[in-house]
Amino acid sequence: MDQDDAMLHEARKALMQARRIVVFTGAGMSAESGVPTFRDALTGLWARFSAEALATPEAFARDPALVWGWYEWRRARVRAAQPNAGHRAIAAFAAHRAADDGGCVTVVTQNVDDLHERAGTPAAVHLHGSLFAPRCSACAAPGAFAEADPLEPEDGRHLEPPHCAHCGGTIRPGVVWFGEGLPEAAWAAASAALGDCDLVLCVGTSALVYPAAALPERAVRAGALLVQVNPGRTAFDALARFNLRGSAATVLPALLCG
């Protein structure tokens, strides 16, 4: 058994012994489904686009059509994507645990896609909102969008956002931008799950964005064991008992279903 296999084996043992597990995911989780990450060199969204111009409330106030068009392109990309073997392994593992009364598995994601749900995880907690839940920027009523055009041009276009059926306000993407608070219910659910878990499995996050990244940190301080799946180095490396260097779609099936 080489060093990587030995670490996978030990991590599996830790997972089998844990009763309350949180799977905490980031953009790398969906990378092999063809959804770009944010900070990977060359392929990450922030390598090609400006976060200041597209992912802040000020950007939306300045140029709503630019921001709305970009998010419609992102939404169309996600709609065309399929869950990967990693998403499916997480859903199967949680279902198996629940059926065997082996303890609970909560999925907390920073992702704004719906790939965990489409893989069979019924109630993932979305800390940074969803591409599929637009709302009115004035009264917060749920908004609608036109069905995404499968030919939505690469990298987005200027597209006027729709208006609220209740108050006429401008509909905005239902995601959390820089400088905005996280959705209260999601934050409460994630804080509770991570505040009371034995093991946190972090997958595909650089762990640079707060307050989300503080949750696994707090869990470790309270005694939880952290297992990380990521091909690269991250801010969680020093906290992790096991750093499994590989991709989500490769490592998770071996870790959770092997």
Q: How many whole angstroms from its chain centre is CA 175?
A: 11
Measured CA to CA, the distance from residue 125 to residue 38 in angstroms comes to 20
Name which of 19 and 32 has its Cβ closer to ligand BJW: 32
Question: Nearest Cα to 94, choosing from 26, 25, 8?
Answer: 25
Choice among 96, 126, 128, 166 that is catalytic: 128
Q: Which residue is nearest to ligand BJW (CB)?
A: 28
3-state secondary structure of 213: coil
Q: How far is the CB of 66 from ligand BJW (least distance, A)?
A: 13
Nearer to ligand BJW, 121 or 205 (CB): 205
Cα–Cα distance for residue pair 68/87, rounded to 1 Å: 28
Give the shortest CB-170-to-ligand BJW separation in angstroms. 17
Question: Within 10 A of 240 (CB to CB), how many other CB atoms are there?
Answer: 21
Nearer to ligand BJW, 165 or 188 (CB): 188
Q: What is the CA radius of gyration of the chain?
A: 19
3-class DSSP assignment, residue 170: strand
Q: What is the DSSP letter of 133?
A: -
Q: Minimum distance between the CB of residue 186 and ligand BJW, rounded to whole angstroms? A: 12
Query: Closer to ligand BJW at the Cβ: 142 or 211?
Result: 211
Task: Give the C-alpha separation, 52 to 46, whole Å.
Answer: 10
Rounded CA separation 198/14 (Å): 9
Nearest distance from C-beta of residue 176 to ligand BJW, angstroms:
4
Which of residues 166 and 186 has its CB atom nearest to ligand BJW in the complex? 186
What sign results for the dihedral spanned by CA atoms 161, 25, 108, 221?
A: negative
Reply yes or no on whether 128 is catalytic.
yes
Q: Could you tell me the two tokens for 34?
A: 């063809």
Integer Cα distance of 27 and 134 in angstroms: 20
The binding site for ligand BJW (CB under 6 A) comprises: 26-28, 31-32, 37-40, 44, 55, 110, 112, 128, 175-176, 178-181, 204-206, 208-211, 230-232, 234, 247-248
Question: What is the sign of the dihedral through the CA atoms of 18, 19, 20 and 24?
Answer: positive
User: Smallest distance, Å, CB 10 to ligand BJW?
Assistant: 20
Decide whether 104 or 235 has the Cβ nearer to ligand BJW: 235
| Residues annotated catalytic, as ranges | 128
